[in-house]
Chains A and B, each alone.
Chain A
């Protein structure tokens, strides 16, 4: 028995901070987020500004260069990142909340209900995500708000979350401490709120993180197809899409937003990995 008192949270944080890739990713992501949300307040150009500098390669005045009509790419990438992150977070929120509920109910009640709920999940999972999203979003081209895209994509990410949560709940409900709570006279609500959810939190956080990454890529793909965020607003996916033909002539227009998509998706995945390791209690077991 060690003398140092540590709470569960402290243990998780400690393990997370030992995961080098995850911590580096977290720092990077924080910087990217600051860049996207605080940057526009400080930068001299807005994403809608049209400057006199046309088609300039990266320079001190325009770090990411400018496009054919004189948009400052730096400002556009800021705005694009901002929109992309916002949409991705919304997707993750919708997908996680719905997926958690769906999975928890299926896992808790088991039997026929579970069977039916999970078959529905299977069906949704067999749908080609982007194609469906594109088809749905295309219904409202020209008027689609950022949250509309989030709803569409969120409705397609929840099955992944619900599968994870269901399996966690299934294994948790067989744990002796759940039976102990029953033996004490605890009702279902108490068992769900006080025992199941706190113990499933790790798994939920991890799948939420991964849902953010899926969201970033999903939004990029939709915007790339022209059914996501619409001009004059912009997003990373839209920027890549508009500038895909410029990849040989003005590569900075294509590569900078592309780099940001990759960076965000990658860092979030690493953070997810770090969280998964941190929440996995098997990590601390010492061989006797």
Chain B
């Protein structure tokens, strides 16, 4: 069952050099309970997309398209209406947990407050529930820790507090925007574990936005790859990782040094840098960096088309040539 459906979402920002087209027509769906990864490099529009869904963009942003939560349109709603949906039905976790925590209340109070906002239990019960939630997200000595203020905790702990608050509302959907980027690997593992625990407890669907393909591989069912404000490939996590059909995805996978591979094999970098979203070339935005590029790529921008299956789609004119291709041969 479709929980969230994003259709032809575009976001533009007026800047001194013209209109910055941050998101250029993104469509995807998230089913109940499912985990969708959105992966892309900085400037690919992955964060702006999720901020647009939540209605959290700055006022000068120009948003078009449609975002439906269980059939209910979110684009064009007032901030007041959206704030009812945010935090209740959609919870959001940002890279910096301090932006979502109130510095003057203890974390226990903040979680209890979220519990009470959702179901009218007594303050005492809410605090007990808060302690349980802290335990679920893996905070040691939850009773003691509930009395701490956010500034008394480490970054990883704060992020787990944010996850506990997200759970308190029993949301249908959790959007996590680079939730572990600022954290160390062992702490990242703790936070991801807490996120999994939160999903198991609430049954919420997850949209996980990250640049880290390793995190995507371990924690998502389906993947959307973004480049220059568009989805360039989407499919199940296995389809994307084992049979990418868009040169960008292939190149991204090939450029990663891997902990499970020995020796000094050469990495296969993607040359160049992502295009400016102010002056996009007319054709495929990846064309200037693509080793397979041909005339047609510069003429028409490819759209997402079905490849190996109806749900594995790639935006490349020549995706059939990528069957069985290896990054080191193409790049």
Please report A residues at the B interface, Cβ cutoff 8 Å.
Answer: 1-3, 18, 286-288
Contact = CB atoms under 8 A, between A and B. Distances in A.
Contacts of A18: 16
A288 B48 contact: yes
A287 B43 CA distance: 9
A2 B279 CA distance: 8
B16 A287 contact: no
Nearest to B274: A1
Interface centre among A1, A2, A18, A287 (most CB of B within 10 A): A287
Nearest to B276: A2
B42 interface: yes
A131 B80 CA distance: 54
Nearest to A18: B16
Given A3-B279, A288-B43, 16 more contacts: A1-B273, A1-B276, A2-B17, A2-B276, A2-B278, A2-B279, A18-B16, A286-B13, A286-B15, A286-B20, A287-B13, A287-B48, A287-B58, A288-B42, A288-B47, A288-B48
B254 to A, nearest CB: 23
Contacts of A288: 42-43, 47-48
6 tightest Cβ-Cβ pairs between the two chains A and B: A288-B43, A288-B42, A2-B276, A1-B273, A1-B276, A288-B47
Interface string B13-24: 101110010000
A17 to B, nearest CB: 11
Interface string B276-305: 101100000000000000000000000000
Interface of B: 13, 15-17, 20, 42-43, 47-48, 58, 273, 276, 278-279
Nearest to B42: A288
A270 B119 CA distance: 54
A102 to B, nearest CB: 35
A281 to B, nearest CB: 14
A56 B279 CA distance: 64
Contacts of B276: 1-2
A287 B46 CA distance: 12
B278 to A, nearest CB: 7
13 contacts: A1-B273, A2-B17, A2-B276, A2-B278, A18-B16, A286-B15, A286-B20, A287-B13, A287-B48, A287-B58, A288-B42, A288-B47, A288-B48
Interface centre among B16, B43, B47, B276 (most CB of A within 10 A): B16
A287 B13 CA distance: 9
A1 B278 CA distance: 10
Nearest to A2: B276
Contacts of B278: 2
Interface centre among A2, A3, A18, A288 (most CB of B within 10 A): A288
A211 to B, nearest CB: 30
Contacts of A1: 273, 276
Contacts of A286: 13, 15, 20
A203 to B, nearest CB: 23
Nearest to A284: B16
A13 to B, nearest CB: 13
A286 B60 CA distance: 12
Nearest to A3: B279
Contacts of B17: 2
Contacts of B48: 287-288
Nearest to B57: A287
A133 B262 CA distance: 76
A38 B273 CA distance: 55
B98 to A, nearest CB: 18
B4 to A, nearest CB: 22
Contacts of B279: 2-3
A276 to B, nearest CB: 18
A279 to B, nearest CB: 16
B8 to A, nearest CB: 22
B269 to A, nearest CB: 17
A109 to B, nearest CB: 32
Nearest to A4: B17
A282 to B, nearest CB: 14
A18 B20 CA distance: 19
A2 B273 CA distance: 11
Nearest to B61: A287
A275 to B, nearest CB: 18
B53 to A, nearest CB: 16
B103 to A, nearest CB: 23
Contacts of B42: 288
A288 B44 CA distance: 8
A288 B48 CA distance: 7
Contacts of A2: 17, 276, 278-279
A287 to B, nearest CB: 7
A31 B43 CA distance: 46
A90 B13 CA distance: 45
B313 to A, nearest CB: 25
A2 B16 CA distance: 13
A31 B233 CA distance: 61
Contacts of B43: 288
B262 to A, nearest CB: 34
Contacts of B273: 1
Nearest to A283: B16
